[in-house]
Structure 1
């Protein structure tokens, strides 16, 4: 099958290797702190609201069609790490079969929430908040409540 004809995973261009992403989370968060003006992020659920404000400003000067893999990775790393800490989860690289010859490594979080095992895709919430035109304006903090089981 031609490369252009095979199914593609949404993360292929944004997070090509989930294992590498997980290993680079501290560096990605450091880059995000620099992008946000150098102030340290404190990994609290309240700090997600700071990201909401920054994303609102970003949307003011960018369209949802303008994807930026570095920004996406930085936001996904921080959002995921805050979520992981909140729910006492663990990063888990999930092998998602995209086609017969292609597997995408997804950086997900495994946790037990309300007594049930779950696997959460923090990158999916960031993807929606940044790039989904139909949900533009939805806050990452709203997704956090849902992803963490607090809502």
Structure 2
């Protein structure tokens, strides 16, 4: 008999190819956002990424949601190497210039501060490692409580469903 799945036992560990991937990308061993770990540069985690045309928000420019998702992924990666049980508490993105689709981009992420389960990280997205910033981000990450996902499942089970099947506000 198989062990029951424990969602709170979930951690992000290196995949078979050595990548740190979210729960949605890990089964395919490939990041759906296109993020590839490229090493460390001047003390910052460096990731290479290209926005696929399918993430286009306007003519030849990346959707802001794709940019935010890439930052969330890379900022988490900066801390995941030392803490595999993280969740994002807050994410702030500054969109400085349009981010082009189908062009090689670099994201550099740094650990700014860490104390008692709280991680502050920042990142910069550019066309090249030395090019001007296209967008920047800051995030606060937290070490996940042991019952994080169980508490969420309990809360969600208590929320009423609307007649059309979508969750109501609450």
TM-score by length of 1: 0.30
The structure carrying a bigger helix percent of its residues is 1
The structure carrying a bigger strand percent of its residues is 2
